[in-house]
Structure 1
Amino acid sequence: MSDRKCWVEHSGIVLHTVGEFDVIHCESCGFKHIIPIPDEEELARIYKHEYHVKDKPLMLQHQLEDEEWHKTTNAARLESIEKQLKRKGSILDIGSGNGFFLKQAMELDWQARGVEPSDKAAEYCRSLGLDVVHGIFDQACADSIGKFDVVHLWEVLEHLPDPISMIALCRQVLNPGGLIVIGVPNDYNKLQRIMHEDLGEKPWWLAPPHHINFFNRNSLERLLRRLDFEPLHYETTFPMELFLLMGKNYLQDPQLGRECHAMRKELELNLTRTGNRDVLDKLYSSLAEAGFGRHAVLMAGKKD
């Protein structure tokens, strides 16, 4: 497609159309997102009451099955954050879900606090003894929650109608010299394009209205620089699209998807258990430089 569309102050070339939504590369935002952008109040209702019940009913079950892997990956991320910050400190986890990252941070002697809109997830976090604010991270929350050395957002920005305002609020609650850590799906990447354009698979990564925005390294770095952050470290996670290219089409087969995920877990756990985490880090560093990886993970420092 090459049509150009405008919606309110957003305009750009249409990349895909899914139902009533168009995906554009927005000229004003500098990243890809859908138009029309869903109503903020409706999204708040979905994530408060429905997301962990209707849309992701097995999320907690799968996370508990993957507990050892979550501990390993979260510990590695926290170690990477500590290297950038040069110490441990206070961390705010926005969109803390069922609290696995938050719990790991607390156990590793970080001062950890979370914000989570889902009724079900916030209740589970509190059952674990975690300090979680049940609600939306908005201006009122930012004004009252205090200051932190690190703000962590994992799989959050892609869901928001206004990610620019969210990052501005994160900047507000960061101490001088603080870090923002963002993990988002690395969408419209080369492996996805091969599957879609060359092998005829539909663009499965498009899931409006839940996924509103689509980022990669370049668009994330531009966005953070625009809001007075300096990118410091970039990494990616395992490129799950490799399984598709190897003939394991899990897109309509949740059980096969779990099997592929199990193979990815085994790779990472085996290298970690045997004291060879450095091998995994080098592998993923190479993949990140090539633009491959299911998630794009960027750490950036607050400019004062």
Structure 2
Amino acid sequence: MSAANWTFLHPSTFVLVGIPGLEAFHVWISIPFCSIYIFSLLGNCLLLGVVKTEPSLHEPMYLFLAMLAVADLVVSTTTLPKILSIFWFRQRVIRADACLAQVFLIHSVSTMESGFFAAMAFDRYVAICNPLRHSSILTNAVIAKIGLVVVIRGAVLLCPHPFLLRGLPYCKGNIISHTYCEFMALVKLTCADTQATKTYSLTVAFLTGGLDFILIVLSYILILRTVFRLPSKKARIKSLGTCGSHVCVILVSYTPAFFSFLTHRFGHSIGLSLHIIVANIYVLVPPMMNPIIYGVRTKKIRKVVLGLFRFSSPRDIKPGK
């Protein structure tokens, strides 16, 4: 193969279009996107600060929540700055290495988020179904090991993605109809046989997000069975209340994730702009909503946060001070 053909089939840069058909509204779309990113940064940083400084929050659920907050910050920071540069400054070009790095970070860290959801579901299962052994089962060492396994799983299983994409010939051009570099969006630009690549991607998706979702559902089936065996209605409501925040976060995260995943592979009749908007919701909205949901619904976090922003009343201020 000549050097010219190699350069054409393996471009050094890609061009991100943004949202096709809505280019005239990119500046207006950037306003909610930028607002979401700012709230994500503030919410997750505040959540991490609260969990770190408050000893009463050094419990399994909140430690897993802190891990989720770090993952949320990575996902949103990996995507939003480039999206805003496209919308505001029309800087659509991205280097191939940066594009592949973005693919790896988005998919691997999203996989880690799924693992943290499963870990939080396991914590709720132990807390409700075996409360007397909760502290002995989920020790700090066990929590650290679970977090490490989740991180390693996401990094190792998704590490081949950039290398698989690097070796493909992009004979359909280097223009990506998306706001960020996404695995299937790049696969669609190649004319090579990508059946093995797609099979690996689907297998990894099942072994991570799919398996995590099954474990979460199984955990809640066992939780519900235990809760409905409790003698009093008050005890049942209290037990279910401790799971409310986790269930809300799962719904916020998994709904757009599944929709984006399925439409990329099977939803050929769905408009491209709608798919891209949903894909952006998948990476932007959950990082903003997770700290809000836990901040509003969790009494311990809400109490600490309100204490940080509480002003002294006039009668608390002594004369001469």
In which range does the TM-score fall when normalised by the shorter chain?
A: under 0.3
Question: Which structure has the highest strand share of the two?
Answer: 1
TM-score (norm 2): 0.25
Q: Which has the larger radius of gyration?
A: 2
Give the structure-1-normalised TM-score: 0.26
* Greater helix content: 2
